[in-house]
Amino acid sequence: VELLLNKGAEVNAQSGRYGNALQAAAIFKGSVQTVELLLSKGAEVNAQGGYFGNALQAAAYNGSVQTVELLLSKGAEVNAQGGRYGNALQAAAARGSVQTVELLLSKGAEMNAQGGHFGNALQAAA
């Protein structure tokens, strides 16, 4: 990733299933360093698009508390809507990621927000 960025790859290019490189990195466990690198190179933390809608929703779906914390610390909007699961809380609830759900709720995630495939977080968890 670093080599491609240093050779001029556009950090915020949009296309494909994951929307952009930040979302692709956020969906895979163990990619916190890649997420940090992309953010340091100017990746837009709230960019919309792709299957998960945004990087926070992708990280919440994979249950990576560390990546979710990083994205939130860099300004990710906890209640941003979009993508298959509607928002990060619904994505975490759908996967049964209790720690991620607790973190998102502590950061102001709206428990009854509507949207996405399941409709709300409770439906996603069920």
Q: What is the CATH number of the domain that holds 9?
A: 1.25.40.20
- Its domain, for residue 49, covers 2-125
Ranges in the chain, pLDDT < 50: none
pLDDT of residue 31: 86
Asked if 60 and 88 touch (Cβ cutoff 8 Å), the reply is yes
Q: How far is CA 58 from the centre of its chain?
A: 4
Asked if 99 and 68 touch (Cβ cutoff 8 Å), the reply is no
Q: How many domains, the chain?
A: 1
pLDDT of residue 30: 67
pLDDT of residue 28: 85
The token pair at 22 is 């930040």
pLDDT of residue 16: 86
pTM, entire model: 0.94
pLDDT of residue 56: 98
pLDDT of residue 20: 95
